[in-house]
Amino acid sequence: MGESVVKHIHVAVGVILGPDGRILLAKRPDHLHMGGRWEFPGGKVEDDESIQQAMTRELKEELDIQVEAMKPLIEVRHDYGDKQVFLDTWFVTRFSGKERGVEGQELAWVSVSELSDFRFPDANQPIVEALLERLG
Ligand SMILES: Nc1nc2c([nH]c(=O)n2[C@H]2C[C@H](O)[C@@H](COP(=O)(O)OP(=O)(O)OP(=O)(O)O)O2)c(=O)[nH]1
Ligand SMILES: [Mg+2]
C-alpha cells in the first residue's frame, strides 16, 4: 500500500472548559495505547457519526456528562508508526452533569499554566501550544 493512502483514525478530542477557565484532563489506563499519559477525554468517531455525535457519546461514556456546546480548536494529524491518528479537537464550552471517571480513570482540572506539568501523548503537543496561544 502506498503511503498516500494511510488511513488516520478519526478521534474526537474534547478540551472541556470549566466555569473558572480550567481544563479537564483524564489519565489513560495503563493497558491502552499511550497508557499512563494524561489526555483530553474523547475517543474514536464511528463511521455513521458526526464529530458532535461522537463527542457527545464519548464524554457520556467516559465522564457521564452531557455536552451542550462545542466549537473547533485544532486538527492534528500524527503518525505513531504503528498507528496514525487524526485528533479532531474541539472546545467543550458548555456541559451539564457532574464529571466522574466512569472507567475508574483519574481526573484533574488544570489551569493552562499547569499544562506543562502533565505528560501527554506525543501527538498532543500542537494542542497544548494552541491552548497556550488562545488562553495562556
Ligand atoms: N482521547 C484522546 N485520544 C488521544 C489523545 N492523544 C492521542 O494521541 N490520542 C490517541 C490515543 C488513541 O490511539 C486514540 C484514541 O483512542 P481511545 O482509546 O481514546 O478510543 P476510544 O475511547 O474510542 O476507546 P476504544 O474503546 O475504542 O479503545 O487517539 C487525547 O488527548 N485524547
Ligand atoms: Mg477514549
Q: Which residues pair with 23 in a beta bridge?
A: 17, 110
Residue 55 CB less than 6 A away from ligand 1? no
* ipTM value for the complex: 0.93
Contact predicate 85/127, CB 8 Å: no
- Tell whether the torsion through CA atoms of 52, 55, 60 and 61 is positive or negative: positive
- Calculate the alpha carbon distances from 112 to 60, 84, 85, 92 in Å: 24, 27, 24, 15
pLDDT of residue 6: 76
Please name each of the domains of the chain with its CATH number: 3-135 (3.90.79.10)
% the chain with pLDDT above 90? 89
Please give the Cα distance from 33 to 107 (Å, whole number). 18
pLDDT of residue 122: 97
State in Å: Cα 33 to ligand 1 middle: 8
- 81-119 tens-digit pLDDT: 999 999 999 999 999 999 999 999 999 999 999 999 999
Which residues, given as ranges, of the chain have pLDDT below 70? 1-5
pLDDT of residue 81: 95
Please give the Cα distance from 29 to 27 (Å, whole number). 6
pLDDT of residue 136: 84
Residue 26 CB less than 6 A away from ligand 1? no
pLDDT of residue 15: 98
